[in-house]
Chains A and B, each alone.
Chain A
Amino acid sequence: DQQVKQNSPSLSVQEGRISILNCDYTNSMFDYFLWYKKYPAEGPTFLISISSIKDKNEDGRFTVFLNKSAKHLSLHIVPSQPGDSAVYFCAAGSNTGNQFYFGTGTSLTVIP
Chain B
Amino acid sequence: EPEVTQTPSHQVTQMGQEVILRCVPISNHLYFYWYRQILGQKVEFLVSFYNNEISEKSEIFDDQFSVERPDGSNFTLKIRSTKLEDSAMYFCASSASGHSYEQYFGPGTRLTVT
Q: Which residues of A contact B (CB under 8 A)?
A: 2, 4, 32, 34, 36, 41-46, 49, 89, 91, 93, 95, 97-105
Question: Interface with A: B12-20, B66-74, B79-87, B99-107, which one?
Answer: B99-107
| Distance from A106 Cβ to chain B, minimum over Cβ atoms (Å) | 11
List 7 A-B pairs, minimum CB-CB distance, nearest first.
Answer: A43-B105, A102-B43, A98-B48, A104-B42, A99-B45, A44-B105, A102-B42
Pairwise interchain contact A98-B105, C-beta atoms closer than 8 A: no
Q: Which residues of A contact B33 (CB under 8 A)?
A: 98
The interface size of chain B toward A, counting residues with CB under 8 Å, comes to 27
| Distance from B106 Cβ to chain A, minimum over Cβ atoms (Å) | 5
Q: Which residue of A lies closest to B106 (CB)?
A: A43
Q: Which residues of B contact A (CB under 8 A)?
A: 4, 6, 31, 33, 35, 41-45, 48, 50, 55-56, 58, 91, 93, 98-99, 101-108
Pairwise interchain contact B101-A34, C-beta atoms closer than 8 A: yes
Query: Interface of chain B, helix or strand or loop or mixed?
Result: strand
A105 to B91, CA, bound (A): 16
Pairwise interchain contact A43-B107, C-beta atoms closer than 8 A: yes
A32 to B103, CA, bound (A): 13
Q: Which residue of A lies closest to B33 (CB)?
A: A98
Q: Which residues of B contact A100 (CB under 8 A)?
A: 45, 101, 103
